[in-house]
Each structure stands twice: as C-alpha cells, then as structure tokens.
Amino acid sequence: MSVRLIAFLVLLVALSASTSAETLRLVLSPVQTSVKPGSPVLFDLYVINLTSFSQKVPSLERWSALFVIEHKASPTVDTVGGLSDLTGDPIPYHSLAPKSFAHRRIKAHLNGHDGDIAIVSVVLTGEPKPESNQVTIRFLRASRTSRSARRSSTQDRQSAANFRAAVQ
C-alpha cells in the first residue's frame, strides 16, 4: 500500500472521527518514498482542525523535523537528528476554519546514503505543538528511484484527487 494512500486514509479518518481530546492533527506525507542520496526530500504537511469551531494555529512555515537514519553500511549505528527554524522572528499564526485543513510543501535535507532508511516526523513551532505521524524514506541510487517513482506517480495523483474530494 502506498504511503500517499495511507496518508489519505489517515486524513479521512481524522476528519470523520474526531475526539474531544484531540483538536488538531498534523499529517506528514512524503512526495516520494524513495529519493536519490544527497537530494532534498519533499513532503506535504497538513494541519487539520478537527473541531466545529475556528482555531488559532501556528503557521506551517515554521516547523521542526525529527529524524533517525538507519545506515545500511553500519546497521548498529543510527544517526539521530533534527532540523529547526532558528530565526528569532515571532511565530506567525492564522485562523483555521472548523473541520478544515491547511497545506504546505516543505523540503528537508537529510543526508542519507545509498541503502539508508530515514524515519521522519515534524512538529510545528509555536503553541499548540502538534506532532505528525512518522514516515519512512529510502535512499536509493537514481536507477532504482526512477522505477519506483514511475510506479507510484499515478497512485500519488489519484490519492491527492481522492483527498481533495473527501474534504470538500
């Protein structure tokens, strides 16, 4: 099952079955699950308001990523790291309508090598601090990524269309 399809299902469940304790959900979806080593990784980031009232939420422009890279070359050694916005500027907020979402495409440089696997999640900077789901990224040589990209691009387009139709 493709990661985009799983992200779509998570978004659909989030919009239809909210609990009173959880009012915001942050969903991270990779644009591609396999990338060439040294290439930036692109993600779609969604913040979802699960309530029936508008909420003040931090901007999707200000986020921090947490990641673990499992190295193929040395399986007993993992790299743990993070990327963060270190500017001193005030955190921008905006109002998010009830039962709606905001979207932003973000880029992260994770520095994986051929065969490595990265597990990534994101937290918004500001309050509240929703944490996203974890996603897995594989670093593969170009010849291996192009096959998987061709195979998943049709699925990705269909998942995005299904998501847009489900939330409208």
Q: What pLDDT shows up at residue 29? A: 93
Report residue 2: phi and psi, to 5°: -70, 150
Mean model confidence pLDDT for the chain: 76
Encode pLDDT of 102-157 as tens digits: 999 989 888 888 999 999 999 888 788 888 999 999 999 765 444 555 555 555 55
Lowest mean pLDDT among 66-75, 77-86, 103-112, 125-134: 77-86
Q: What pLDDT shows up at residue 154? A: 56
Q: Strands 34-35 and 135-139: what pairing?
A: parallel
Q: How far apart are CA 22 and CA 64, in angstroms?
A: 21
Token pair of 130 as six digits? 């929703």
Q: What's the average model confidence in pLDDT over 55-75?
A: 83
How is domain 3-161 classified at the CATH fold level? Immunoglobulin-like (2.60.40)
Please list, in sequence order, all residues whose beta carbon lies within 8 angstroms of the beta carbon of residue 73, skipping any fewer than 6 positions away. Answer: 113, 115
Report residue 105: phi and psi, to 5°: -90, 130
Token pair of 47 as six digits? 């913040």
- Higher model confidence: residue 85 or residue 46? 46
Please state the domain extents for the chain.
3-161
Q: What's the average model confidence in pLDDT over 60-83?
A: 79
- Higher model confidence: residue 55 or residue 13? 55
Q: What pLDDT shows up at residue 136? A: 93
Report residue 38: phi and psi, to 5°: 90, -10
Burial (0-12, 13-18, 19+ Cβ within 10 Å), 127: exposed
Q: What pLDDT shows up at residue 131? A: 87
Helix (H) or strand (E) holding 165: helix 142-167
CA 96 to chain centre: 19
Q: How far apart are CA 150 and CA 134, in angstroms?
A: 24
CB atoms < 10 A from the CB of 101, how many? 19
Amino acid at site 78: D
Q: What is the pTM of this model?
A: 0.68
Please list, in sequence order, all residues whose beta carbon lies within 8 angstroms of the beta carbon of residue 20, skipping any fewer than 6 positions away. Answer: none
Task: Report residue 10's pLDDT band, with 50, 70 and 90 as the boundaries.
Answer: low
Task: Report residue 18's pLDDT band, with 50, 70 and 90 as the boundaries.
Answer: very low
Task: Report residue 1's pLDDT band, with 50, 70 and 90 as the boundaries.
Answer: low
Percent of the chain scored above 90 by pLDDT?
26
